[in-house]
Structure 1
Amino acid sequence: MPAFSLDPPQTAWCAELRTVAAERLRPLAEKGEPGHVNRPLVAELGRLGLLKRLFTSGAVDLCLMRESLAYACTEAETALALQGLGAYPVHAYGTPAQRDRWLPQVTEGGAVAAFALSEPGAGSDAAALELRAEREEGEGREDVPPGQSVRTPGGSLAAHPDGPARWRLTGEKCWISNAPEADFYTVFARTTPGAGARGVTAFLVPADRPGLTGTGLDMLSPHPIGALGFDAVPVTADDVLGEPDRGFRVAMGTLNLFRPSVGAFAVGMAQAALDATLAHTARRDAFGGKLKDLQTVAHQVAEMALRTEAARLMVYAAATAYDEEAPDVPGRAAMAKLLATESAQYVVDMAVQLHGARALRRGHLLEHLYREVRAPRVYEGASEVQRGIIAKELYANMEAGR
């Protein structure tokens, strides 16, 4: 894997994104209501063409966007990322009808998407999903096993005399970003009991489906996050993303793209904390000189810079591997997310320490980053899950002789 470095157009684009985030997006973010979807902010991301780039560019561009926006406006970064996470399964696995119905609205900033995977009892262990997709009585053909649908030679779901296969979704989802205010959800439900990851199907569920309810959750960082309840919510074969019982592929395919970009989000926050620390220690008087003249402080700042740059390089190596369709993407994606999010936690925490009490005051950049930086170590696979993925990939490669 070649070393990653930005070319001049990428460098200029990142600088432009930082400026746009500070001048156009941050004022909209500041007007938003904590814990709720900021639709004017999402709409502005659409007008700027950034939402469209989620689906027309590669993983490296996604990481550049997330890092640059995170540096100047974490709320804008999060709004962009959540649109991508919720709608990417439609882009990558949806039917032409599904894509035509939703993707133009998503890219314009008019429809809000959500990725509904986690449950109260199945967060890190995504294969343990309990949301049930129960086949309706009398639906489907007798020669087709429950939970499966007929496909034509061309791969499309075939109709039968009673119409498309139908299910009812019953259960709960929790910790879902943009819930309960999203316009549609990518929902993962169990269609075959006892089959683990192989018995999960992904459905595109519009928010106005009968039986779908939701409540907001008050979190450490005031993002729009909620719980969803499914009381016999109707879905049909026309709502399936990908193939029945193959929804875990949809989930993992999406996460393999977005995990490195979570790392980019973390790198953007770490860089913002590092730059704030450089400025503060260069001007702060202490012990007869400047803070930066103290060896202890200088070494801590050097460690912060070292970890930030190491994380950045691993993030873009993973993104490059994804764009080049390398075989080791899952392991690289896990490494990138793990190193970047853990490093960002260290850098932001050390920045707070070097700033002292002023950094703990409400409204300070570092107070904001301190709350923002904690969640990425948990969502889209906690750090412990990433270590498990890395180890699994290492042993698989050893057994395969790679």
Structure 2
Amino acid sequence: MTSGLDLDWPFFEPRHRELSSQLDRWCKNHLSDAPARDVDEHCRALVRNLGLAGFLKLCVADGGTPPDVRSLAIARATLARHSGLADFAFAMQGLGSGAISLFGDAEQKADFLPGVSGGSAIAAFALTEPDAGSDAASIATRAVRAGDDWIIDGEKTYISNGTIADVVTLFARTSDDGARGLSAFILPLPAAGVTVPERIEVIAPHPLARLRLDRVRLPTSAMLGSEGDGFRIAMQTLNLFRVTVGAAALGFAQRGLDEALSFASNRRLGTATLADNAVTQDRLGDMATRIDASALLIARAAWQQDKGVADNRRAAAMAKLHATEEAQKVIDMAVQLHGGLGVTVGAKVEELYREIRALRIYEGASEVQRMVIARDLLKEHRA
């Protein structure tokens, strides 16, 4: 399997198998395990090359139809298996422009989506703030009406692509009415009043930053949807891509298993190999089972989303939760099996160990996913 997903399952169609083969070939020809010397420039190149190859078209709405979630899941799982940064570059083009795809008017889509899908414009999604993470309804960045414009002041943090973005989906408070007081805007960059006071360094290097907005002026045409729609826009955009976070975790886990199989098969242990050891076989069997369980949850949730199942939140939450949590365990097993090499900088499993950790936090932490699942179960039970 090129991604951890078995594309012969009935959830998938021939076009999905073809996409997987095409993208896997592209990855083998264009991606390397060598660490990036300049993360920002490497991300720019990845976006540009993914756009030239036509793969970024998967991330944006085509004629008003939402992106195919099964295709997004296959793409992320395949890219993650080869390169965490390539998966990041692809995913952020989708998340950063997702609100425009779902809620933008014809002019907004025409202005921004071709650049995103072609790889000439890098997208970002600015929701998180220093005092508002999982509780998105508490954001404090404020937009005040000034004639035909909006004046925006505030701060965003942990913004992926914050150092290199050309277009940002920005969420700000336009009234004090809790979640109903949030609105969404399209912010082209560079823009007067927008600065990057801090580049945020994390264990798996990405172009992550804190953004400051000081009297940033946007026209009324920059608003996505209507005033007060921001929370709904943010949640629906995140829900569209939530399953794909699980798919990325699946790709990381599959690569961890691949590395473990290869290492165990070649590592001498007395007169045999590490793979001949019963304890190793127990561990490999456990890893494979965890991966397949995640793959099934992802395939189901993505299929439901594409088929328009009325409420897909529980399935999406289960897929994201299980895949990210189990991938962490699978990769930890791979590191343990490698011994000292597993924690050596430059080893692939060491890189995977750093890459996987953030997926249990962003786009809805594991604790939030458990709450979504439980509340849906209780609602169903009470009904």
1:354, CA displacement in angstroms? 0.4
Larger Rg, first or second structure (1 or 2): 1
Distance 1:36 1:388, change over 3 A: farther
Are 1:26 and 2:32 counterparts?
A: yes
Pick from 52, 76, 95 the counterpart of residue 86 of structure 2: 76
What whole-Å deviation, never above 9, does each CA across 1:187-223 have from its counterpart, x for those lacking one? 0111111x22111101001112221111321111111
Partner in structure 2 of residue 155 of structure 1: none
Partner in structure 1 of residue 6 of structure 2: none
On the 8 A contact 1:66/1:264 being kept in 2, the answer is yes
Are 1:11 and 2:17 counterparts?
A: yes
Are 1:64 and 2:74 counterparts?
A: yes
1:12, CA displacement in angstroms? 4.2
On the 8 A contact 2:11/2:300 being kept in 1, the answer is no
Q: How many residues align?
A: 369
Partner in structure 1 of residue 189 of structure 2: 207
> Residue 206 of structure 1 aligns to which amino acid in structure 2?
P
1:9, CA displacement in angstroms? 4.8
SS in 2 for 1:374: helix
1:287, CA displacement in angstroms? 4.3
1:305, CA displacement in angstroms? 0.4
Distance 1:9 1:103, change over 3 A: closer
CA distance in 1, matches of 2:160, 2:45: 17
1:329-348 map, 5 Å: 329-348=312-331
Are 1:54 and 2:36 counterparts?
A: no
On the 8 A contact 1:22/1:73 being kept in 2, the answer is no
SS in 1 for 2:184: strand
CA distance in 2, matches of 1:330, 1:32: 39
CA distance in 1, matches of 2:14, 2:225: 39
Partner in structure 1 of residue 287 of structure 2: 304
SS in 1 for 2:152: strand
What whole-Å deviation, never above 9, does each CA across 1:229-274 have from its counterpart, x for those lacking one? 0111112320111121011111111111111000000000100110
Are 1:106 and 2:116 counterparts?
A: yes
CA distance in 2, matches of 1:361, 1:254: 38
Return structure 1 stretches of 4+ with deviation > 4 angstroms: 3-9, 29-32
Partner in structure 1 of residue 45 of structure 2: 40
CA distance in 2, matches of 1:96, 1:10: 29
CA distance in 1, matches of 2:353, 2:18: 28
> Alignment identity in percent?
41
1:259-298 map, 5 Å: 259-298=242-281
On the 8 A contact 1:359/1:367 being kept in 2, the answer is yes
| Structure 2 unmatched ranges of 5 or more | 1-8
1:1-400 map, 5 Å: 4-7=10-13, 9-26=15-32, 30=35, 33-34=38-39, 38-55=43-60, 56=62, 57-136=67-146, 139=147, 164=148, 166-193=149-176, 195-214=177-196, 215-399=198-382
> Residue 360 of structure 1 aligns to which amino acid in structure 2?
V
State the TM-score, normalizing by the size of structure 2. 0.92
On the 8 A contact 2:157/2:209 being kept in 1, the answer is yes
State the TM-score, normalizing by the size of structure 1. 0.88
CA distance in 1, matches of 2:35, 2:270: 38
